[in-house]
Structure 1
Amino acid sequence: MNRMTPLEKFTGAMHTLPLVAILRGLTPGEAAAIGDAIVQPGFRLLEVPLNSPDPYASIASMRDRFPDALVGAGTVLDARRVREVHAAGGELIVSPNFDADVVREAVNLGMVCLPGVMTPTEAFGAVAAGATGLKLFPAELASPAVVKALLAVLPKGTPLMPVGGITPHNMAEWRAAGAVGFGIGSALYKPGKSAVAVRESALEFIAAHEGTTPIPHVR
């Protein structure tokens, strides 16, 4: 059976649940349990920021455990780190900024790349370099109106995903402006949060995306 390419995984996730789980601070020892808590309910986009403890080990572990998910790294700041993520089995590169060398290296290696942008100059530069989609970061500095304005001038179909301060309660207004997905950080996972609690948060985000009410957890 042929495995899906990174782009096919990304495209599939964008149609089903376009939420990137940002697992900053994840340790290799908890990668399986936290991954299960997120993937089993439906997440398929998993990001381990490189300022986490031993991130390459976590990426390798999650890639093996969740072959149908798109697993990779965040806070990727240079082309060397892109190659290191690729060597660990990662297929996703996310950055807080736009660096053309990072985008081009990821594209050359067949990886999905989501650079961080805030201005039209950065957004158009990232698209020209070959970015798969754009991460609007930090979203706290922007607004749904910014999303609407950027999408009015960017190439039609450019995925724009706000990251920073996203909760189940404010997703609807961003989506109404045209955001097609989100990066979810500390509201989903932070160091010390149990797998059970992470799963509950994952279900809340999924319900918010689908416009439904999550089933209360029975304790």
Structure 2
Amino acid sequence: MRLRNKPWAKPLIDSNPELIVTKPVEYRGKWETRFEKKAPLFIEIGMGKGGFIMELASRHPENNYIGIEIQTTVAAIVLRKQIEAKLPNLQLVCANGSGLSEYFEENEVNGIYLNFSDPWPKTRQEKRRLTYKSFLKQYQNVLNAKGSLEFKTDNRGLFEYSLVSLNNYGMIFNQIFLDLHKDEEAMIDNVMTEYEDKFSKKGQPIYKISASFKN
């Protein structure tokens, strides 16, 4: 999702520091201070318009959630929703998701969500894919021993690449879905993103991987 910067976006972010962070390095190891209570922490990298992370936070008040988005306007769109919703267990971050190890201490995170990430299809763009080995190293660093990585996409090429990348990294596959929406049991607790809703209505298969790192 790429949107032009809107003139209202940055002022909105600047005026709501209690809901959105622009310098996440300042909270490394102390993210619990951003929430009402200490709880397991889950993050989404590339939260889009926030449908997924906000619904997840609403369904699971026992957890804390952080949505990370690099684009100022997109982050501000989610912020407008959060200003209205006031979910106490949700914080937003406007920053580059590639700096995860700078934002979180080792073992600080319980789960990471990658939803419909940019496939970066050209070979020269491989290092920008969120399932490239350098990103996996960061996920491994910040996730605790029981933490897991969940990845969803409609892009078959990215899905196949991710399977190989995670396998080569030595990860343990907990679940693999070639067509998530055809599995009734998996859909019981499934939280859809805006893209997932759009593509599934067109009949496109949704691919999903749930994987963990070896201890």
TM-score (norm 2): 0.36
TM-score (norm 1): 0.35
* Bigger fraction of residues in strand: 2
